[in-house]
Amino acid sequence: MIAHRLLLLLLACGLTACADTLSIAEYRQQLNDLSSQAESLRDQPDNSGKMLAGLPEHVLVLAHSREYSVNYQWLKDDLSKFQKAGPGARTAILQGIQQHFKTLISESQAIENSSADPEQSRKKLDEILSRHEFQRVQGPSAWAILRARIYEWLARHLRVGRAKWAWDFLQIAVYLLIAGAVVAFAIWIIRRLSQPQEELEPRSIMPFAPSARGWGAWLAEARSLAQRGDWRNSIHLAYWAAISFLEENGAWKPDRARTPREYLQLLGARTPQYPVLTRLTRKFEVVWYGHRDANEADFQEILGQLEQLGCR
């Protein structure tokens, strides 16, 4: 039985967006071509950089109706060492590379000639991968899969080809997008943390229950402020007119220590007044807590919502 140790070390189930799909025969031919290129480095060591640049990160190999992602990182690492090594060390590195290729070629032949029964092959693979020496072997990480999908999506929508420069451009674009998102999130966090506490958690706690002052009194004062052009304060008082009205009609028990959002929760989404109070609360929070400028149209909008609640 031919050992599958090195090949299985390279094969990890999963798809890579920019990888080519090869049959076992095509994969073996690729190994032979790479082996020839490596052999030529004995006489032309300066070509190692060109060979390294032309290596794919992954290729997909189709074997017995299953696809495997083959990683060439081992060869990239050896070529990087080769470039930095002296003449004597380079010979040893090339011998190791050639031995590695021979093993992979032999094992690809063995897999091609092995049983096509998926269940039997899977059991054999599980048995081999359960050994101690394969405990650290892992498939593509979640980040690698996500990154590959992003590349594929960008390539499809930007109509980018498979040229190396095109994929380099996509990688730069993806990292710029990620960096931009991180910076935007950091700015948002800083701004949130720098806001006063009352802006982070808007509260409008009254010194007394809103219904202790009739809703008509709230509304009359709101109209008085509106006549003077004080739109923000008029909207503020009109909102409390609505709360006082609902409280007087038994929507909840009076309590001076509630926030606008708590009044919405107490009213409940199933009540007919809930959509109206939701719109009124949103407008009130934007103008009052958001420190937005208000005008007559905003006040008239609030009055219309009060009328829908029954405040006439």
Tell me the pLDDT tens digit for each residue of 199-242. 444 444 455 677 778 888 888 898 999 999 999 999 999 999 88
Write out the DSSP string of 21-88: EEEHHHHHHHHHHHHHHHHHTTT-GGGHHHHHHH--SEEEEEETTEEEEEE-HHHHHHHHHHHHS-HH
Distance from C-alpha of 14 to C-alpha of 60, rounded to nearest angstrom: 9
Question: What is the pLDDT, as a whole number, of residue 212?
Answer: 74
pLDDT at 73 over 50: yes
Backbone angles phi, psi at 288, to 5 degrees: -85, -55
pLDDT at 39 over 60: yes
Task: Look up residue 211 and give its DSSP letter.
Answer: G
pLDDT at 146 over 80: no
For residue 69 the two structure tokens come to: 């992602």
Q: Please, which contacts does 302-307 make with residues 24 or more away whose CB atoms are closer than 8 Å?
A: 302/235, 302/238, 302/239, 303/238, 305/242, 305/276, 305/279, 305/280, 306/219, 306/238, 306/241, 306/242, 306/245, 306/280
Backbone angles phi, psi at 102, to 5 degrees: -60, -45
Could you tell me which of 300, 256, 305 has the C-alpha nearest to residue 276?
Answer: 305
Hey, how many other C-beta atoms are within 10 angstroms of the C-beta on 246? Answer: 23
Tens-place pLDDT, residues 257-303: 788 888 888 888 888 889 989 999 999 888 888 888 889 999 999 89
Give the mean pLDDT of 155-169.
60
For residue 220 the two structure tokens come to: 């009359």
Backbone angles phi, psi at 28, to 5 degrees: -65, -40
Contact yes or no for 235/221 (Cβ under 8 A)? no
Hey, how many other C-beta atoms are within 10 angstroms of the C-beta on 203? Answer: 13
pTM: 0.37
Contact partners, residue 258, CB within 8 Å, separation at least 6: 205, 266
276 vs 156, 216, 217, 268, 279, CA distance in Å? 45, 19, 21, 12, 5
Distance from C-alpha of 276 to C-alpha of 299, rounded to nearest angstrom: 15
Q: Which three-class secondary structure state does DSSP give residue 12? A: strand
% of the chain beyond a pLDDT of 70: 73
Question: What is the pLDDT, as a whole number, of residue 252?
Answer: 84
- Runs of H (alpha helix) within the chain: 5-10, 24-40, 48-54, 73-84, 87-113, 118-129, 142-158, 164-194, 197-200, 215-227, 231-248, 260-267, 274-288, 296-309
Q: Mean pLDDT check: name the lowest of 104-108, 127-131, 201-205.
A: 201-205
Hey, how many other C-beta atoms are within 10 angstroms of the C-beta on 70? Answer: 22
Question: What is the pLDDT, as a whole number, of residue 292?
Answer: 86
Q: How far is CA 228 from the centre of its chain?
A: 51
Q: Directed axis angle between helix 296-309 and helix 215-227, to 10°?
A: 160
Distance from C-alpha of 35 to C-alpha of 101, rounded to nearest angstrom: 6
Contact yes or no for 125/64 (Cβ under 8 A)? no
